Chain A
Amino acid sequence: DVKVTQSSRYLVKRTGEKVFLECVQDMDHENMFWYRQDPGLGLRLIYFSYDVKMKEKGDIPEGYSVSREKKERFSLILESASTNQTSMYLCASSFSPGSLSNQPQHFGDGTRLSIL
């Protein structure tokens, strides 16, 4: 089974802090994703990466950056945390078999981040 591990289940930080959310997958997947989930809004894509050191903006990248130095690890960075970034953050990964197919995304357990 695919295992996507997020480093923290709950995290509390202060306004203005630099925050790192870490995600590791164990299936050698090419693609990795960061979403935020808010009640009534579903999941919204922040950033994704289809290869090491490659990244693309999603729908709501403002206030966030990402890092992918190794294939198995994808980090989400809040450069200067603000209260409106209080949310659930979900990491996912997927396999790219050379041509696009119906490969699903596999998700971690989520990090509930509170910015005070």
Chain B
Amino acid sequence: AQTVTQSQPEMSVQEAETVTLSCTYDTSESDYYLFWYKQPPSRQMILVIRQEAYKQQNATENRFSVNFQKAAKSFSLKISDSQLGDAAMYFCAYRSALTEKLVFGKGTKLTVNP
């Protein structure tokens, strides 16, 4: 079974600085999708960014970008120019191309200090 590991339960960053959240996953499959979700204190889970395993180019969404290393099974999230509104729980998730089910990591709580 696939597993997703987020090794940093908590992280903090100064406003306007850059922070990187780590995610590794374990799979024997070659075709899959990876996602980062954000859950602010208001609780609604919001998609931040997604990556297809067959794409070598790293996905970017405004201040959010990923470093996808397929061979290393690593999928880190970089947040540039951090803002107070970025404070949230961040979850990394894996989905096989064979199913609709997501496998989530345990999350990283990000604090942004003014």
Contact = CB atoms under 8 A, between A and B. Distances in A.
A110 B44 contact: yes
Interface of A: 31, 33, 40-45, 48, 50, 58, 88, 90, 92, 94, 96, 100, 102, 104-110
Given A43-B91, A102-B52, A107-B44, A31 B33 contact: no
A88 B43 CA distance: 10
Interface string B82-108: 000000000100000111111011110
Query: Which of B33, B42, B100 has the largest count of A CB atoms less than 10 A from its CB?
Result: B100
B47 A48 contact: no
Nearest to A110: B43
A82 B101 CA distance: 26
Interface string B61-98: 00000000000000000000000000000010000011
A107 to B, nearest CB: 4
A33 B98 CA distance: 17
A74 to B, nearest CB: 13
A42 B106 contact: yes
A109 to B, nearest CB: 5
Contacts of A106: 47
A43 B104 contact: yes
Interface in B32-65: 33, 35, 37, 42-47, 50, 52
Contact of B44 (A42, A105, A109): A109
B50 A100 contact: no
A109 B45 CA distance: 7
28 contacts: A31-B100, A33-B101, A40-B9, A41-B106, A42-B105, A42-B106, A42-B107, A43-B91, A43-B102, A43-B104, A44-B104, A45-B102, A48-B100, A88-B43, A92-B45, A94-B100, A96-B100, A100-B100, A102-B33, A102-B50, A102-B52, A104-B35, A104-B47, A104-B50, A106-B47, A107-B44, A107-B46, A109-B42
A30 to B, nearest CB: 9
Given A109-B43, A110-B44, A50 B102 contact: no
Contacts of A96: 100
